[in-house]
Structure formats: C-alpha cells, structure tokens
Structure 1
Amino acid sequence: MDDLETGKIKKALVVDDSAFMRKLISDFLSKHPNIEVIGTARNGKDAIEKVKLLKPDVVTMDVEMPIMDGLEALKEIMANHPVPVVMLSSTTKEGAENTMLAMEYGAVDFVAKPGGAISLNLKDIEEEIVEKVAAASGVHISKLTRTHKPKPVQKSVVATRKETVSQIAKPLKPKINKNKGVFVKNAKTFVIIGTSTGGPRALQAVLTNLPAEFAAPILIVQHMPVGFTKSLADRLNTLCTIHVKEAENGEPILNGTAYIAQGGKHLKMKKLGQSYFIQLDEIEPSRSGHRPAVDVLLESAAAIKELNYLTVIMTGMGSDGKVGMEVLKKNGQTLTIAESAETSVVYGMPKAIVEAGLADEIEDLQDIPKKVMGILKF
C-alpha cells in the first residue's frame, strides 16, 4: 500500500530561483494532508546541500536556475543522495530537450510551466503539480537508480532507408500462445505501447534493444503535453537502431519505425486500400484527462480487425489503456504484455491491466524487448 494511503507524511523540498515560485509551489503542496514542505532552495547548489541536510522524500526542481541549473543538480543528487524528483520546465524547445535529459538522468516526472520561468498562472496547474509530487513521493529509489545504458548507434541505415509502400507492415508468422491471447497466422502485426509516469526511461530501455530490421511498426502513446513529444522522439531516435519519430497526420505506418503520439492529439490508425496510416485527432475530448490517450489508440486498432496486435502497457499513474484493451480483446487479435510491479516506477496502468485479467504476460522492464522479439519470432 502507498505511504500516502496509510497517512504517512512525506517531506518535500521546493527548488526554484524565484521566491514567488517557491512560495506558490510550497502553498500548493502544503494543502495536501500528507505532504509537508520542509524547506526550499534557490539554485542547484543550494538544492544539493538541502537534500543532504534535510533528507526529503520528494523534490520539485526548476530546470533553469543560476549558479547551478536543475539538470546538473539532478545528476549529482541521483548519483550521491537519490530521491524522487519532479522537474518544472518551460515549454521552449530548449526546455523540452532539457526535460528529456532530466527523465534520462532519473527524474520521476515533470510539469510544464504554463507561463515561462515565472508563471503568474501557475494556479492553473496546481492539481497536476500536487498529484505528480504526491505520486513521486511514493516511488522506491531502487526503481530510479536502476540504469539502462544503450550504446550510441550509427544512424546511416535509418537515414538512407526509403520509406516505400513495400515496407508497410509486411506479414509476420508470430508464435501462437495457446490458452492466452490469440494471433491469426500470417496476419500483419503491429506493436502498440502505452505508458505515462516513468515512461521516457522505460521506452528507452525497450526501444534501444530492438534490432534495425524489426519487421513491425510501433505506435506509442506516452502521456506528455504539447511541445515535449518531439523532443522525446528525437532523443530516442539518436539512441535506437530503429527509426523513432513524432507521429504526423496522414503518414504511412512503416515497419521498423516507432511513432510517438503528439502531445495534445489522440493517435489513431486508419486503413486506405491495403495500407495503414497515422490519424491525429485534436477534436475528440481528453480521456481521463489525457490527450493522447492509450484507450483511444486501442479502440482505433480494434476497428481494424484483420491485424494482429502485440500490446505493451508499462509504468504510469491511473488506468489508461484498460478500457481500450477490453475493446481490443473483444474485437481483435491481441497478445498483451504488462510491465511488472517490480520494475514499474508507478504501478498504475499495468496494474489495471493485470487486475482486469487482460494481461497475457507480465514481464520486468529489461525482459520486455526479448519477449516482444520472441513472440514475433526474431
């Protein structure tokens, strides 16, 4: 059971170079019955000292600060005094890129400031800040310090790959897992991944271990606001042998490519002739506060009945994916992998799948790539 559910008070440290922001964030967190703000820090250097001295259970860390920025402070804290950290970032291109690095360095989650460095309208995201800090305060340090270090790869193969119709979802002969999910022999197979809190590092651990010749497309929903998903895709693309990109409306769905849903838009699939294409939808409302939502992608997949789907639900708060998976299980052919409680940074989304009896396999994060390739007979 989560410490917050048992009533245990969690100690928070607020780090920001703006006194106004420190006060505002502290006031937000102090309203939570199980969070106590035990201190503040005005830059990264100050934060490191306060973490050592005060031993907080959770830290909010601004990315952009003088003397020592949030990234440098985060690296030192995670190396020497690891603690769950939630980053606060601007929505600029540089801010988004730095935020992706922060996730890689071990931050649990981030919140996008709606109004720049000093956000007078921070009140608009008060609920999000409190929710994410509360969730982060219950994360076990072992799940943050476990590292996955893929080697940088040459992108020449990817760069010269011609994205032709002939590459689109070639038929596979997947292994049929009796008494579990069902695949149709020789049907085209798509991989779908859904994740949220802790997802960027989980995606890195999985995607970097797939081979360049991976003969299936991958559609990904990672809960993330507008302006951050492209930086995530670009970062992963530098680390992977497969091609990783932010999904674009109307583009063909190709083998060996991972498409990450754009922030603020639902990711869907559509079929034209014998080919499959990306459809982005910014009109359909959010699902449980999320757009993109895993549920929407899975429901879209369920409407294309001739395909096989290998679905992977990984770390994240909430239960997004459960409703969509019920629809897909009822109407389509799917095998479903849920990340284990042991490796999930937040065991919410995979837990919902497991408890609903929708998971065919439960795997530790580091074992998911091997399981995926085994099912697809690589």
Structure 2
Amino acid sequence: MTRVLVVDDSRFMRTVIGNALTEAGYDVETATNGSDAIETAVASDPDIITMDVEMPELGGIDAVERIMARNPTLILMLSVHTDRGTEATLDALERGAVDFLHKPDGSDSRTVTHLIDDVVEKVAELANANVSSAALARATASAYAARSESARTRSLDRSQSRPKTTERAVVGAGRGARGDTETSAGSTTVQPGGPSLESRTEVESERPSGTVGDEQPVDLGGCADNPTVVLGASTGGPKIVERVFERLPADLDAKVLVVQHMPSGFTERFADRLDAHSQYDVSEAADGDAIRPGEAAVAPGGAHLEVVSNIGGRLRLRLDDGDRIHGVRPAIDVTMRTAARHVDDPLCGVVLTGMGRDGAAGIEAIKAAGGRTIAQDEATSPVFGIPRQAIQTGCVDDIAPAPKLVETIVGAFDTEGETDD
C-alpha cells in the first residue's frame, strides 16, 4: 500500500486531507511542522509527502531540502496563492519537490473541496509514475547549494559577456484568461531506444546532476543563424528548466519559448527567476510580443502560447484562452505545432520531465517540419511520462540526461561539416 505523509500545521487541513487519502486507499501519517515531518519521514519512509509551505518552527522549504538530502521522496507542495507563497513554492521546487497545488485563499472560487480532490488526483498520478529515486536525489538541495557557491563566479562571467537586451518589441500588452492549473496524468514503464543517447557517465556519478559549480562552458562550434528553441515541461520541470537557462550560452543568440505546466501567477515569477539566472532576457509572454534573438518567453498560466509569424528574425506571439488540451492550458503541443508551422529558421523542440502526453504531437510536428527534437532521459527525469510519450512517436532525434541538455540543444544547431550538397 502506498504510504502518504500529510504535513500541515492546521489540524483541520491535516484531518480533511488525511481522511480523503485514507478513503482513497492510502496508508496515511501526519506531521504538524517541518521538524516533525523530517522525523516522521525517517520513521515511516513514505512514498509521497504533501507539504504545507509556511509552518511554525521549521517551514516546508527547509523541510524539503533536508528530507531530499537524507531520503529522496516525492513531495507535493501546498501553498497559498500569494506573492510570498509563490516565491516559497518555487524555492521548494528548486530544492527537490516535484509538484505543487495552491490552497484556496478567497481570491477566487477555489474551495477546500477543490483542493482535496486535486490532492487525491495528484497523489494517484505520482503513485502511478515510474519515478527514479536517484533522479530525485540529483535534483535536490545539493544542486541548490552548488548554485549558491558559484553565484559569484557566474555573476562575474555575466558582467564580462554581452549585456541583456533592455528593450522588448511589444506590439500588444493584453493578457489571455488565467486561473487554470495542471491536471494531467501519465506513467512510464519502457526503456527508451532508437534515437541517440548522450553519455551517462556524469549521470551515474555520485555528484548530483544539474549542479552548476563544476560545469564547463558550452562549446558553440559552428552554429546556424536565427535558431529557435521550444522547451516543454510539466511535473519536476521548473528546476530542470532553470538549469538549462543557467548554462544556455548567450552567443547561441536563440529565441526561446518555454511551456511549463503551471497556474496563473506562478509563471510570471518563474520567468523572473529564469531571467535572474540566465544571460537571456526572459519574461512572461504577452499577447502580441515579438521575441528577438537572445530573448525568451514563458507561456502564462491559463493561456496557450502560439507562434503566429517569424519575420525579420522576430517571433510574433499570440495568447489563446481556448479549450484545454490534454487537460492543461498552456499546452506544449500548441506552441510546438505553431512554431513548426511558422518558423522556417533552424528549430529545436525539447520535452522534459512530466506526466501525460502533452508535447508528443508537438515533437512530431517539429520533426515533420525539418527541425531537431530532444527528450530528457529516464534516469534524470523525476517523472518520465512526457519524454516517454514523445520517444514512442519515433520522432525524437536525441535522448539526453539533464546535465547534457544544453550541449545537446547547441549540437542541434551545429553546422560544422555541413555542405550544400
């Protein structure tokens, strides 16, 4: 029986969530704060933990970091939808939590009943996912610590490279409708095969993957002009996407579109974090934006992100609040399909960790349009659903571990050795 640890300083929340999970057939333990959670996690070895973000004595962020360092576990964060709660939730994801749900706070129609239903559904998805404990361990607090240690070095390097652009070509500032959360599902059981796989040496080492302190600059070689990259991710994705942006070389001069399954409010803060850790100018996409080389746009929660033209080296974007696809909005498929339709410059589609099959049709479209396609490998994907579904289409060119994603993306635009024949 799947064991679930429910951590919340509210007795009411512990009771209603615990009862719902018990009725759903799970073996439930509870804890009142982060310190209690650490002790209970050691004693009961839960398969999944639901963790409140803000608690007395020891909060959820620190508890996640300590639990992941000692006993990597699937952790689902529960957070109020405030600026402080949003930032704390993203911090928890950076330290190793795989997903989050926001608690009702009176700002919309969301109720405790909605939260309970979502918790039961999300726990079921996580329980059915083929999750590697080793992959989880490599995406935890040690990577966060490595980032802190190398922050000064990266800051110096950034100051010596070309500055970020200070202007954006914005045609419209309107926003699509917001307020949706992700409710996708998927599981994995197969071993990838067929496309080329990058070396697993670094993945199999004891040092956590995704750490930045000892990674070397990426060699560009001969790269194509005006490259475009579309990144799609879901559960477990934010920390992987952040590490891609940390190492993505400015000299690649790519236009980058990011679709991360995440609700409204969180995507803007997520874009700010990517901007702070990257040499690219990153922002949440607005309707009518024109993205230039060296810039990146994050699809806003609650709206599909479409590419409507590629003229003069600029991608023109549109937001659409139409129906959910695969139960989500934004959907990876929408952005990849429209990019495949309108981008006639070099194009690369990348699917990362997550549940469900969103992105598989997009990868097919990019491949059919002559672009390159990449999927994160199973060993470093906290949840291998999205990459697995893409690989099964037969349209993935390369399967890469998390630490080699940037090299693989750059390699997709390598023109050395090409001829006009």
Q: TM-score, normalised by structure 1?
A: 0.85
Aligned equivalent of 1:280: 319
Instruction: Check conservation: 2:50, 2:78, Cα contact below 8 A.
Output: yes
> Where do 5+ consecutive residues of structure 1 fail to align?
1-8, 166-178
Distance change (3 Å), C-alpha of 1:71 and 1:121? same
User: SS where residue 287 of structure 1 aligns?
Assistant: coil
Mapped pair 1:356 → 2:393: yes
Mapped pair 1:293 → 2:331: yes
Mapped pair 1:136 → 2:123: no
Q: Distance in 1 between matches of 2:259 and 2:367?
A: 18
Q: Distance in 1 between matches of 2:69 and 2:224?
A: 48
Instruction: Check conservation: 2:226, 2:253, Cα contact below 8 A.
Output: no
After superposition, residues 158-307 of structure 1 pair within 5 angstroms as 161-163=165-167, 188-271=226-309, 273-274=311-312, 275-282=314-321, 284-304=322-342, 306-307=344-345
> Which amino acid letter does the alignment assign opposite residue 41 of structure 2?
V
Aligned equivalent of 2:66: 76
Per-residue deviation, residues 204-231 of structure 1 (Å, max 9, x unmatched): 2211111122211110100001111112
Give the counterpart of 1:18 among 10, 17, 25. 10
CA apart distance, 1:357: 0.7
Give the counterpart of 2:32 among 42, 67, 73. 42
Instruction: Check conservation: 2:325, 2:331, Cα contact below 8 A.
Output: yes
User: SS where residue 349 of structure 2 aligns?
Assistant: strand
Instruction: Check conservation: 1:158, 1:243, Cα contact below 8 A.
Output: no
CA apart distance, 1:132: 2.4
CA apart distance, 1:31: 3.5
> Which amino acid letter does the alignment assign opposite residue 62 of structure 2?
E
Instruction: Check conservation: 2:16, 2:116, Cα contact below 8 A.
Output: no
Distance change (3 Å), C-alpha of 1:80 and 1:264? same
Distance change (3 Å), C-alpha of 1:187 and 1:68? closer
Per-residue deviation, residues 52-102 of structure 1 (Å, max 9, x unmatched): 222211110000112221112212222233322111011101111001100
Per-residue deviation, residues 134-158 of structure 1 (Å, max 9, x unmatched): 3434533211221444432336567
User: SS where residue 218 of structure 1 aligns?
Assistant: strand
Q: Distance in 2 between matches of 1:352 and 1:320?
A: 8
Aligned equivalent of 1:169: none
User: SS where residue 291 of structure 2 aligns?
Assistant: coil
CA apart distance, 1:160: 5.4
Instruction: Check conservation: 1:108, 1:198, Cα contact below 8 A.
Output: yes
Q: TM-score, normalised by structure 2?
A: 0.76
Aligned equivalent of 2:206: none
Q: Distance in 2 between matches of 1:187 and 1:82?
A: 42
Q: Distance in 2 between matches of 1:19 and 1:194?
A: 38
User: SS where residue 257 of structure 2 aligns?
Assistant: strand
Q: Distance in 1 between matches of 2:364 and 2:315?
A: 23
Aligned equivalent of 2:187: none
Distance change (3 Å), C-alpha of 1:273 and 1:205? closer
Q: Distance in 2 between matches of 1:164 and 1:98?
A: 29
Instruction: Check conservation: 1:109, 1:136, Cα contact below 8 A.
Output: no
> Which amino acid letter does the alignment assign opposite residue 278 of structure 1?
L
Per-residue deviation, residues 27-74 of structure 1 (Å, max 9, x unmatched): 2322334x221x111111221221122221111000011222111221
> Which amino acid letter does the alignment assign opposite residue 36 of structure 1?
D
Distance change (3 Å), C-alpha of 1:160 and 1:361? closer
Give the counterpart of 1:32 among 24, 32, 43. 24
The one of the two structures with greater contact order (alpha-carbon pairs below 8 A, sep at least 6) is 2
Instruction: Check conservation: 2:52, 2:77, Cα contact below 8 A.
Output: yes
CA apart distance, 1:122: 2.2
State the identity %: 38
User: SS where residue 309 of structure 2 aligns?
Assistant: strand
User: SS where residue 303 of structure 1 aligns?
Assistant: helix
CA apart distance, 1:370: 0.6
CA apart distance, 1:327: 3.4
CA apart distance, 1:120: 8.2
The two structures, once aligned, show a CA RMSD in angstroms of 2.5
Q: Distance in 1 between matches of 2:285 and 2:97?
A: 25
Distance change (3 Å), C-alpha of 1:342 and 1:63? same
Moved over 4 A (4+): 155-160
> Which amino acid letter does the alignment assign opposite residue 91 of structure 2?
L
> Which amino acid letter does the alignment assign opposite residue 140 of structure 1?
S
Between 11-20 and 150-159, the greater mean CA deviation after superposition: 150-159
> Which amino acid letter does the alignment assign opposite residue 100 of structure 1?
L
Per-residue deviation, residues 178-204 of structure 1 (Å, max 9, x unmatched): x99xxxx96743100111001011112
Between 234-243 and 11-20, the greater mean CA deviation after superposition: 234-243
CA apart distance, 1:363: 1.0
> Which amino acid letter does the alignment assign opposite residue 85 of structure 1?
I
> Which amino acid letter does the alignment assign opposite residue 250 of structure 2?
A
Aligned equivalent of 1:105: 95
Instruction: Check conservation: 1:214, 1:242, Cα contact below 8 A.
Output: no
